[in-house]
Structure 1
Amino acid sequence: MAADQGLVTSEYAVGTLAACAFAAVLYKILTSHAVGSMLQALVGKALDAPF
């Protein structure tokens, strides 16, 4: 049992690292020019909707 003492901490470290990497990739995608243009077009269509 003593050999497994650090296992939980290392799993949290790997999970945190994976979450940070995913967040970095998501940030790069969302701040790209193509996605920004697409979001601007979507908001523009929503604001031009007839009431």
Structure 2
Amino acid sequence: MVRCRLGARFGRGGRFATDQGMTTAEYAVGTVAACGFAALLYKVVTSGAVSSALQGLIRRALGAV
């Protein structure tokens, strides 16, 4: 008898059944963070010092072939 009442009261989702949109919000925050990191990485890679270092590295790699 007690089991039936508890099952009817809390159901499958329990008290936290209303948290349906949390995963969507977490994915949105993760996507925004990834875009911010990509923009920062783009700025670093396209800066003068890093760009010239990468070009030199590629030239040496292609020259060794």
Aligned partners of 1:43, 1:10: CA distance in 2, in Å?
Answer: 41
Runs (4+) off by over 2 Å: 43-46
RMSD: 1.4
Percent identity among equivalent residues?
60
Question: Does the alignment pair 1:16 with 2:14?
Answer: no
Which structure ranks higher in relative contact order (CA pairs < 8 Å, sequence separation ≥ 6)?
A: 1
After TM superposition, the score normalised by the length of structure 2 is: 0.65
After TM superposition, the score normalised by the length of structure 1 is: 0.79
Unaligned runs of 5+ in 2: 1-16
Larger radius of gyration: 2
